[in-house]
Amino acid sequence: MTIAKWINFSSIDDSRGSLIAIEANKTIPFEIKRIYYLYGNKDNVTRGMHAHKNLTQVIISISGSCKISLDNGHTKENVLLKNPDRGILVENFIWREMSDFSANCVLLVLASELYDESDYIRDYNLFKKFVEHD
Ligand code: TYD
């Protein structure tokens, strides 16, 4: 089973350039309650390093590129985020780590819930305990 679930967006291209529109419950499979973006990432940093109990996200590199590692506790998959016309769906109980950011990388994140620190699992061993019976 593949962990990385891509969502491809249609881009509207004309002589001026390209436009992508993302609509909640249509282009992506949830109501978007929160949007955030990561940029200005320093060399050799790793971000993420957590999973969520009840949060679905779509992560899109709208500029530049980075690596994302997705881990369901049994299998790990590394993928490159580099295209503004596709995003990766990251569901709950997936440990994610982002690294290898290009200097111009801007990661746009669409989230199904508001920010809630109590929804985070930031300890990998605890994460393994949550998923060990899956
Ligand atoms: P953090 O979870 O460490 O970011 P990442 O997983 O991308 O490495 O978040 C950094 C800080 O920002 C942390 O103090 C929590 C805060 N934060 C918010 O206040 N709201 C949010 O929506 C997010 C994603 C983070």
The rounded distance, in Å, linking the Cα atoms of 29 and 92 is 14
State both tokens at 45. 């940093």
Ligand 1 pocket test, pick from 47, 58, 108, 119 with the greatest ligand atom count within 8 Å of Cβ, gives 47
pLDDT at 42: 93
The rounded distance, in Å, linking the Cα atoms of 21 and 123 is 36
For residue 118, give every residue at least 6 positions away whose Cβ sits within 8 Å of its Cβ, in sequence order, or none.
none
CA-nearest residue, atom 13 of ligand 1: 117
| 3-class DSSP string for 45-68 | CCEEEEEECCCCEEEEEEECCEEE
Question: Is the per-residue pLDDT at 134 higher than 90?
Answer: no
Mean pLDDT within 68-97? 97
C-alpha of residue 76 to centroid of ligand 1, in Å: 23
86 lines ligand 1 (CB under 6 A): no
Predicted TM-score of the model (pTM)? 0.96
CA angle 89, 95, 97 (to 5 degrees): 85
pLDDT at 133: 78
How remote is the C-alpha of 42 from its chain's centroid? 18
State both tokens at 121. 């699992």
The model's pLDDT over 12-47, given as tens digits with 9 standing for 90+, comes to: 999 999 999 999 999 999 999 999 999 999 999 999
